[in-house]
Amino acid sequence: MDLEKIASSTYDKTSRQRDAGKSGPSPELAAQRAVQDAVMAERHRGFDLKAKDNTMKYERPKFVVVGEGTKSANAAYQSGYAKINWKDK
Protein backbone atom coordinates (compact mmCIF):
# COMPACT_ATOMS: atom_id res chain seq x y z
CA MET A 1 0.00 0.00 0.00
CA ASP A 2 1.55 3.28 -1.12
CA LEU A 3 0.29 5.87 1.35
CA GLU A 4 2.07 8.78 -0.31
CA LYS A 5 0.39 7.99 -3.61
CA ILE A 6 -3.03 7.85 -1.91
CA ALA A 7 -2.38 11.15 -0.13
CA SER A 8 -1.14 13.00 -3.21
CA SER A 9 -3.93 11.77 -5.49
CA THR A 10 -6.59 12.69 -2.91
CA TYR A 11 -4.95 16.08 -2.34
CA ASP A 12 -4.91 16.78 -6.09
CA LYS A 13 -8.52 15.67 -6.55
CA THR A 14 -9.75 17.81 -3.65
CA SER A 15 -7.73 20.79 -4.84
CA ARG A 16 -9.32 20.57 -8.30
CA GLN A 17 -12.78 20.37 -6.72
CA ARG A 18 -12.03 23.41 -4.56
CA ASP A 19 -10.78 25.35 -7.61
CA ALA A 20 -14.04 24.47 -9.38
CA GLY A 21 -15.97 26.11 -6.54
CA LYS A 22 -17.26 23.00 -4.77
CA SER A 23 -17.39 22.98 -0.99
CA GLY A 24 -15.82 20.32 1.18
CA PRO A 25 -12.87 19.64 3.44
CA SER A 26 -9.49 21.20 2.81
CA PRO A 27 -7.14 19.21 0.57
CA GLU A 28 -4.83 18.53 3.53
CA LEU A 29 -7.67 17.14 5.64
CA ALA A 30 -9.03 15.05 2.77
CA ALA A 31 -5.57 13.57 2.13
CA GLN A 32 -5.10 12.77 5.83
CA ARG A 33 -8.51 11.09 5.99
CA ALA A 34 -7.80 9.03 2.87
CA VAL A 35 -4.54 7.76 4.35
CA GLN A 36 -6.27 6.94 7.66
CA ASP A 37 -9.03 5.10 5.80
CA ALA A 38 -6.47 3.06 3.84
CA VAL A 39 -4.60 2.10 7.03
CA MET A 40 -7.78 1.12 8.84
CA ALA A 41 -9.00 -0.90 5.84
CA GLU A 42 -5.70 -2.82 5.83
CA ARG A 43 -6.05 -3.54 9.56
CA HIS A 44 -9.61 -4.69 9.01
CA ARG A 45 -8.53 -7.10 6.27
CA GLY A 46 -5.88 -8.50 8.62
CA PHE A 47 -8.46 -8.96 11.37
CA ASP A 48 -10.80 -10.77 8.98
CA LEU A 49 -8.02 -13.21 8.07
CA LYS A 50 -7.31 -13.90 11.74
CA ALA A 51 -11.01 -14.33 12.50
CA LYS A 52 -11.29 -17.09 9.88
CA ASP A 53 -8.78 -19.21 11.81
CA ASN A 54 -11.03 -21.43 13.95
CA THR A 55 -8.25 -23.77 15.08
CA MET A 56 -7.91 -23.90 18.83
CA LYS A 57 -4.47 -23.06 20.15
CA TYR A 58 -3.94 -26.55 21.60
CA GLU A 59 -4.88 -28.15 18.25
CA ARG A 60 -2.16 -26.35 16.27
CA PRO A 61 0.91 -28.33 15.27
CA LYS A 62 3.85 -27.57 17.53
CA PHE A 63 7.18 -28.91 18.65
CA VAL A 64 10.01 -27.69 20.85
CA VAL A 65 13.66 -27.33 19.92
CA VAL A 66 16.26 -26.90 22.67
CA GLY A 67 19.55 -25.08 22.05
CA GLU A 68 18.24 -22.37 19.76
CA GLY A 69 20.77 -21.07 17.25
CA THR A 70 23.09 -24.06 17.20
CA LYS A 71 23.53 -26.34 14.17
CA SER A 72 21.93 -29.27 15.95
CA ALA A 73 18.93 -27.10 16.93
CA ASN A 74 18.49 -25.90 13.36
CA ALA A 75 18.60 -29.47 12.11
CA ALA A 76 16.08 -30.51 14.77
CA TYR A 77 13.81 -27.65 13.78
CA GLN A 78 13.93 -28.60 10.11
CA SER A 79 13.23 -32.22 11.00
CA GLY A 80 10.26 -31.32 13.22
CA TYR A 81 8.86 -28.88 10.68
CA ALA A 82 9.06 -31.47 7.92
CA LYS A 83 7.03 -33.95 10.01
CA ILE A 84 3.99 -31.64 10.22
CA ASN A 85 1.29 -32.79 7.83
CA TRP A 86 -0.10 -29.42 6.72
CA LYS A 87 -2.73 -30.91 4.43
CA ASP A 88 -4.70 -32.36 7.36
CA LYS A 89 -4.90 -29.01 9.19
Domain residue spans in the chain?
3-51, 57-88
Between CA 63 and CA 86 the distance in angstroms is 14
pLDDT in tens, 16-34: 988 888 888 888 999 999 9
pLDDT in tens, 54-86: 777 777 777 666 666 677 777 877 888 888 766
Q: Indicate the pTM of the whole model.
A: 0.50
Helix (H) or strand (E) holding 24: none
Between CA 84 and CA 71 the distance in angstroms is 21
Between CA 12 and CA 30 the distance in angstroms is 10
Between CA 53 and CA 38 the distance in angstroms is 24
